[in-house]
Amino acid sequence: MQKIIKSIVPVSFIFLLAFLPILQPPAYFLSFIFKVFLYIILAESWNLIGGFTGYLSFGHVAFFGIGVYTSAMLFQHFGLSPFIGAIPSGLLSSAAAWIIGYPCLKLRGPYFAVVTLCFVFIIDLVVKNWTFLGGSEGIHLKLLPMDIQLSRSIFYETFLGLAVASVLVARWVQHTKFGLGLASIREDEEVAQTLCIHTADLKIKAFILSAFIPGVAGGIYAYYISYIHPDIVFDINISILIVLMALFGGGGSWAGPLVGAVFLSIVNEFLSIFIRPEFARIIYGAMFIAVIIFMPDGIVTFFKKWMGIRKIQHSYTSPVDKEK
């Protein structure tokens, strides 16, 4: 019963969002919300490897980009609909994660971060120099044979669905055996091994899953932008923003990236509308630094604690205990 009451608010909110296009709000507003959905999808899926498992990946945008290019190619050469093409897009992103994850997940800490960063640069260079993929000219996709208003709404609804799905996946992972295994890897990988956990196997599974979701989203996004260029879809700034959003909200739980993505998207939008971009950047950066310093576990954890909901106290190791 309590469960039902608790889920009424989010469910009705999702319905409200779903009905929004019918009210025909300004195109600008709809596209802003669409972008928020995109960041929720990216931050939630990143969190599976970055937050739950503790492997700070800066390569997440690459999986998104691979998805974009896969479905674009499938559409151009086989006329495959974006909504079908999204599935092979996700699969190819996962395959890429499997291939690069195998060697890279052996690296820890900053080494893993740097290698995943390089992965984005490499794939960006490859695509720019590969004429089959449009090279540095990019690809123009034919517009879908339907009314622009209608197609925008369809994209909007699809991304709403994907955003909800990625939040639910993260929530599910967090509360299962899989999630607890990942958390133990984040805390201490060697201890995890003494607890019978095949850590390499679990990490690669998390990485593959975390790459599948942006792959699918990219597959659909290709038609949304219709002009595809490596500078747009392999933009390292997107990778960085994803990491910031997830950590801003808090990487330990499914709620963190959701809150971080929504909040930072809104703040970013406001700042860029009302303040000159240079100042906007400074405020944005300062805010992030403040959160990292004063709320290292993210704002979600901070406010839960602040409101006294959090039963468990904040982790603190006294220097005396550390000695032992």
State whether residue 31 is helix, strand or coil. Answer: helix
In whole angstroms, the minimum distance from the beta carbon of 181 to other proteins comes to 6
Q: How far apart are CA 304 and CA 225, in angstroms?
A: 38
Least gap, CB of 256 to other proteins (angstroms): 13
Of the pair 152, 186, the CB lying nearest other proteins is at 186
Residue 323: both structure tokens together: 């000695």
Strand segments, DSSP code E, in the chain are: 139-140, 227-228
Give me the least distance between CB of 276 and other proteins, in Å please. 40
Instruction: Say how many CA atoms lie within 13 Å of 95 toward its Cβ.
Output: 9
Residue 136, H or E segment: none
Q: How far is the CB of 248 from other proteins (least distance, A)?
A: 18
Closer to other proteins by CB, 126 or 195: give it.
Answer: 195
The smaller minimum CB distance to other proteins, of residues 12 and 176, is found at 176
* Smallest gap from residue 139 Cβ to other proteins (A): 44
Q: How far is the CB of 200 from other proteins (least distance, A)?
A: 9
- Min dist CB 250 to other proteins, Å, is 11
Rounded distance between C-alpha atoms, residue 255 and residue 104, angstroms: 27
Shorter beta-carbon distance to other proteins: residue 35 or 171:
171
The end-to-end CA distance of the chain, in Å, is 47
Q: For strands 139-140 and 227-228, give the pairing.
A: antiparallel
Compute the distance between CA of residue 185 and CA of residue 200 in angstroms, rounded to an integer.
10
Give the interface with other proteins as residue ranges (CB under 8 A).
175-177, 180-181, 183-184, 186-188, 190-199, 252, 311-317, 321, 324
Is 90 or 179 the residue whose CB approaches other proteins more closely?
179
The secondary structure element, H or E, covering residue 203 is: helix 199-225
φ and ψ of 313, to 5 deg: -75, 165
Closer CB to other proteins, 55 or 69, in the complex:
55
Phi, psi of 228 (to 5 degrees): -115, 130
Nearer to other proteins, 108 or 142 (CB): 108
**Dihedral angle computed from the Cα positions of residues 174, 56, 258 and 303, in that order, rounded to the nearest 10 degrees:** 80
